[in-house]
Amino acid sequence: MRILIVEDEPKVASFIRRALEEENYAVDVSPDGNQGFDLAREVNYDLIILDLMLPGQPGLGVLKALRTAKVKSPVLILTARSEVDQRVKGLDAGADDYLTKPFAIEELLARTRALLRRAGGDPTGVLQVDDLVLNPVTHEVTRGGRRLELTAKEYALLEYFLRNAGRVLTRSMISEHVWDIDFDTFTNVIDVYIRYLRNKIDREHEPSLIHTVRGSGYMLKANT
């Protein structure tokens, strides 16, 4: 899942980025309201973390412009403790949640999981297809009850597949949601990672869950 952080304080931005990357999310950072708005329109982010006090354009303006432009990504706003009216305005302008600074990183991660879960319409948070199970809190992945050891990228790819089970995912959708802005689209990295992932989840198990959809991309689904 891919997340945009719009935050001008470098320390805060890199602190959040590191924590999210440790959770295997792909992360882009913008220090400026206008640039953040452009990115958020260009890329279909799974979540946008938006500071309200920003150079370029303030966060509230960015948020309103995004909702006017029909950008539906969930938005978590960051505000100072004193800015009660800003929080209210933010929620009314289409923010999905807020955090007041300073915040505990564990809380930001929990809210991130909650917003991704809500977007996926799944209240429990555990992702499952057939006997393949991924727990976003513990990062544990099992198939048929047996624990699978995945690398960070394999995990991110599997999480995206599971959140979109039964849907055909094109290579461009996969690169948009699993890799960050530095990804080179002219490589066959996606196919390589799909092969790695298949080796781990499908090679020693029946039925195969990752299907190639000729001419389109890939789909994760149970055979039944």
Q: How far is the CB of 63 from Ca ion (least distance, A)?
A: 14
Q: Does 8 bind Ca ion (CB under 5 A)?
A: yes
| Angstrom distance (rounded) from CA 133 to CA 126 | 7
Give the range of 8-16, 65-73, 117-125, 141-149 binding Ca ion by CB under 5 A: 8-16
Bridging pattern class, strands 210-213 and 217-220:
antiparallel
Contacts of 151 (CB under 8 A, 6+ apart): 196
- The nearer residue to Ca ion, 6 or 209, going by C-beta atoms, is 6
Q: How far is the CB of 113 from Ca ion (least distance, A)?
A: 24
| Angstrom distance (rounded) from CA 144 to CA 43 | 35
CA distances from 182 to 15, 27, 171, 186 (A): 19, 10, 16, 12
Q: How far is the CB of 114 from Ca ion (least distance, A)?
A: 23
- The nearer residue to Ca ion, 28 or 51, going by C-beta atoms, is 51
- Can you state the angle between helices 59-68 and 84-92, rounded to 10 degrees? 10
Contacts of 37 (CB under 8 A, 6+ apart): 57, 62, 65, 66
Q: Does 83 bind Ca ion (CB under 5 A)?
A: no
Q: How far is the CB of 195 from Ca ion (least distance, A)?
A: 42
- The nearer residue to Ca ion, 8 or 130, going by C-beta atoms, is 8
With CB atoms as reference, the residue minimizing the distance to Ca ion is: 53
Contact 134, 127 (CB under 8 A): yes
φ, ψ at 220 (rounded to 5°): -100, 120
Q: For the chain, give the number of residues.
A: 224
Give the range of 26-34, 46-54, 104-112, 186-194 binding Ca ion by CB under 5 A: 46-54
Contact 65, 83 (CB under 8 A): no
- The nearer residue to Ca ion, 78 or 169, going by C-beta atoms, is 78
Q: Which of 19, 53, 129, 133 binds Ca ion (CB under 5 A)?
A: 53
Q: How far is the CB of 8 from Ca ion (least distance, A)?
A: 5
Q: Which of 28, 51, 96, 154 binds Ca ion (CB under 5 A)?
A: 51
CA distances from 180 to 94, 135, 183 (A): 25, 22, 6
Residue span 130-169 as binding mask against Ca ion, x where in contact by CB under 5 A, dash where not: ----------------------------------------
- The nearer residue to Ca ion, 29 or 158, going by C-beta atoms, is 29
Using CB under 5 A as the criterion, which residues of the chain lie in contact with Ca ion when the complex forms?
Answer: 8, 51, 53
